[in-house]
Structure 1
Amino acid sequence: MQAARGASLTPAGDGPGSRPYVLTFTLVALGVWVLDQLSKLWAVDRLQGEPSIEVLPPVLNLTFVRNPGAAFGMGTSMTIVLSIVAVAVAVVVVRAASRLRDRGWAIGLGLLLGGAIGNLTDRIFREPAVMRGHVVDFLDYGPFVGNVADVALTFAAVVIVWRTLRGVGLDGQKVEDGA
């Protein structure tokens, strides 16, 4: 069967048209992961065992915490579940990346993957055990202490909601109502 005149002969996301978006996605994810890991190495070296450092009181301080749970200290007994969820998120996001043809989605999913992998790296390689490691947090916003990965996850959520509300699919096309 022949494709309609001007229609692509390859499925959406395959071929050279998706390459710039996959590259953007990859660079954002890698950049977030590297920045997250370097900042955590710095925090362990400089902040562990030290009193909080006021940066912009009362908005931002540097406070070292090892977090076994999720945001706001919830789920401290569910570290393995959080690790498995992070692995599942990473797999789904990487699979979706091949369909990217929108810069906003590429950035949002790159932030999501980088943040998920950043905290997953801690859960895998930090004490007390594999898949039960405690995440290094040090950015103290008052009721919340987080890290670069958490900041990336927050921005990812904003970008993903923005693209969704604008009705833009991963392929950059407007999603029709009822489709």
Structure 2
Amino acid sequence: MWLIPAIAAVILIGLDQATKYMALIKLQPIGSMVLIDGFMDLTFVKNPGVAFGMFSGQRWFILLLTGVITVALLYFYVSLPKTKEYKFVRMTMVLIFAGAIGNMIDRILRGYVVDFFEFTFFEWPVFNVADIYVVVGVMVLAYLIMFVIKDPEEEKKKDE
């Protein structure tokens, strides 16, 4: 039960770290380059904070917060019912976990997170692969909680 999610998390974290390494090696020296004209650039940014630069410069607080979130994710992952309907919930938790760990590795090793994707057709903070994992994971998890997972009390009322 643990092996497949653990392998998936390691692969996702590895992909995140590989893209950040490429950004450090290839993109940092030039700063920025057009990826898709009018849509997205690759722009090297050292992000000492979290989303939208919040808590900038508070590395230890961010690491502590990430650690607490990671432990909570693992606890809820293990606590979820072992039913088929929770399979997708577990998948989203693996995504969020991988994103949190990917950015945590950066903070521990470098003191900042490497960001490099930049939308050019509207104003949005520069982001990375780990951020994509977290955002997609949270959005899908919210959808599952709101529209897919049924409360046992709700199910009983339908059956009556």
Q: Deviations over 1:59-108 (max 9, x none)?
A: 21101111101122222132221111111111111122223432211110
Partner of 2:157: none
Matching residue's letter, 2:100: A
Conservation of the 8 A alpha-carbon contact between 1:52 and 1:62: yes
- Kindly state the Cα deviation for residue 27 of structure 1 after the two structures are TM-superposed: 3.4
Matching residue's letter, 2:152: E
* Cα distance in 2 between the residues matched to 1:32 and 1:48: 23
Q: Deviations over 1:83-137 (max 9, x none)?
A: 11111111111122223432211110001100000000011111xxxxxx11111
- Kindly state the Cα deviation for residue 24 of structure 1 after the two structures are TM-superposed: 4.5
Conservation of the 8 A alpha-carbon contact between 1:86 and 1:120: yes
Conservation of the 8 A alpha-carbon contact between 1:70 and 1:76: yes
Is 1:121–2:105 an aligned residue pair? yes
Partner of 1:136: 114
SS at 1:145 equivalent: coil
Higher fraction of helix: 2
Q: Structure 2: give runs of 5+ residues left out of the alignment.
A: 155-160
Matching residue's letter, 1:72: F
Q: 1:155 aligns with which of 136, 142, 152?
A: 136
Question: RMSD over aligned Cα, in angstroms?
Answer: 2.0
SS at 1:54 equivalent: strand
Larger radius of gyration: 1
Conservation of the 8 A alpha-carbon contact between 1:167 and 1:175: no
Matching residue's letter, 1:97: Y
SS at 2:28 equivalent: coil
SS at 2:79 equivalent: coil
Once the two structures are superposed, the pairs formed by residues 21-170 of structure 1 within 5 Å of their partners are: 22-100=2-80, 101=82, 102-126=86-110, 133-142=111-120, 143-168=124-149
Conservation of the 8 A alpha-carbon contact between 1:40 and 1:137: yes
After TM superposition, the score normalised by the length of structure 2 is: 0.83
Q: Structure 1: give runs of 5+ residues left out of the alignment.
A: 1-18, 127-132, 169-173
Q: What is the number of equivalent residue pairs in this alignment?
A: 148
- Kindly state the Cα deviation for residue 177 of structure 1 after the two structures are TM-superposed: 5.2
- Kindly state the Cα deviation for residue 153 of structure 1 after the two structures are TM-superposed: 0.5
